[in-house]
């Protein structure tokens, strides 16, 4: 009998996993044993929920929410506003011209209100805005349809509409590369400026798509402290530890080397020890999957290259990393 992760961490934070309608079936054994928080990997994104204006398709998101609630798990809602996976109709009017701010906000409000109200009392927090900050350069915001049409205002409106739709849901800003100093400072600056304007941001999501060496432990610590200094809650929202460094594009490995497996275990050990130190502010640690038989990293950054980023292997057996995380 192996220990349940959520039991091991119950005094610290929730343990979560991202799922799809397929993985709630194929990985059900691990999910029901180890997690108490669920995120839809894709099925609550804009293009899934409202592919055509006014036509909402909730079936698959409902299935995921039902799975979570019937297994005593909470649901993290992901995500209401993103530059990716938003259907093109959102940005064009009937003549095919790019919309102005007013129409964009009208559509944004309709989307956010409809989605949040459907899951009121069922989804306990929302990644309201995802990845709006630019990775490089002097600009604070990423160039996207959203920022081109509405500057910073789309972020402010999204949080205001979300709070109006469900005053009890926790509202998060979520981003990646969150622990690298340059982007960390931009995310900090963005959330600080929102809070100064009394925009209701309750938390920051650190996606945590990390490798065996990067970001360093010290960079992660500094990011946690910097964000926590804003007085908001933190969630680790999309954790995975790639076996490959970010710039390693080779695709000839059939299985990870023993050295990689050991290094990953050591890395998970250090990371969870660090999270535990901050469990007064880190309230949820969600993996972007649960076992190595399915990960988005199998197609990123190299198409069809297998990766092994989780605590459980392709046969759902615990890896050395699992035992480290249970005992750190
Ligand atoms: O569903 C279609 C399928 O019908 C088609 O045959 C197939 C062919 O490529 O594509 C399938 O859609 C894919 C979808 O995932 C479902 O698997 C898309 O191509 C693919 O682009 C999409 O990728 C998702 C990605 O977001 C989109 O940018 C990943 O699964 C998902 O893990 C990833 O999640 C994001 C978070 O939302 C935000 N943070 C980063 C994270 C990783 O990129």
Nearest CA to ligand 1 atom 36: 41
The model's pLDDT over 2-47, given as tens digits with 9 standing for 90+, comes to: 999 999 999 999 999 999 999 999 999 999 999 999 999 999 999 9
CATH homologous superfamily of 5-327 equals Glycosidases (3.20.20.80)
| Nearest CA, atom 41, ligand 1 | 238
Burial class (CB in 10 A: 0-12, 13-18, 19+), 323: middle
Positions of E strands within the chain: 14-19, 37-40, 74-81, 123-130, 170-175, 203-206, 209-210, 233-241, 282-287
pTM for the predicted model, two decimal places: 0.97
Q: 299 near 242, Cβ under 8 Å? A: no
Domain boundaries, the chain: 5-327
What distance in angstroms lies between residue 303's CA and the mean position of ligand 1's atoms? 12
43 Cα to the center of ligand 1, angstroms: 10
**For the chain, which residues score pLDDT lower than 70?**
none
Q: Tell me phi and psi for residue 235, to 5 degrees.
A: -120, 140
* Residue 219 designated active-site: no
ipTM over 0.85: yes
What's the confidence (pLDDT) of residue 1?
Answer: 85
């Amino acid at each position: 009998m192996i220990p349940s992760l959520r039991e091991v961490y119950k005094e610290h934070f929730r343990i979560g996993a991202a799922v799809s309608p397929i993985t709630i079936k194929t990985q059900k054994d691990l999910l029901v044993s180890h997690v108490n928080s669920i995120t839809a990997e894709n099925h609550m994104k804009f293009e899934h929920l409202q592919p055509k204006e006014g036509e909402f398709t909730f079936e698959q998101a409902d299935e995921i929410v039902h799975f979570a609630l019937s297994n005593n798990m909470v649901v993290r809602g992901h995500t209401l506003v993103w530059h990716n996976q938003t259907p093109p109709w959102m940005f064009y009017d009937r003549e095919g011209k790019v919309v102005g701010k007013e129409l964009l906000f009208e559509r944004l409000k309709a989307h956010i209100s409809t989605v949040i109200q459907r899951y009121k009392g069922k989804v306990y927090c929302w990644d309201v805005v995802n990845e709006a900050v630019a990775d490089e350069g002097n600009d604070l915001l990423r160039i996207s349809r959203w920022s081109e049409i509405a500057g910073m205002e789309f972020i402010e409106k999204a949080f205001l509409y979300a709070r109006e739709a469900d005053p009890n849901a926790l509202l998060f800003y979520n981003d990646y590369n969150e622990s690298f100093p340059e982007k960390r400072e931009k995310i900090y600056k963005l959330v600080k400026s929102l809070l100064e304007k009394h925009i209701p941001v309750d938390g920051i999501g650190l996606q945590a798509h990390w490798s065996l060496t990067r970001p360093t432990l010290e960079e992660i610590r500094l990011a946690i402290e910097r964000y926590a200094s804003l007085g908001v809650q933190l969630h680790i929202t999309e954790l995975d530890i790639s076996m490959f460094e970010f710039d390693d594009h080779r695709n000839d490995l059939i299985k990870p080397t023993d050295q990689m497996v050991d290094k990953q275990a050591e890395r998970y050990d250090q990371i969870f020890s660090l999270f535990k130190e901050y469990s007064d502010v880190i309230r949820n640690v969600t993996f972007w999957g649960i076992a190595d038989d399915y990960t988005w990293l199998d197609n990123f950054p190299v198409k069809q290259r297998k990766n092994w980023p989780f605590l459980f292997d392709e046969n759902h057996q615990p890896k050395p990393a699992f035992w480290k995380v249970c005992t750190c």
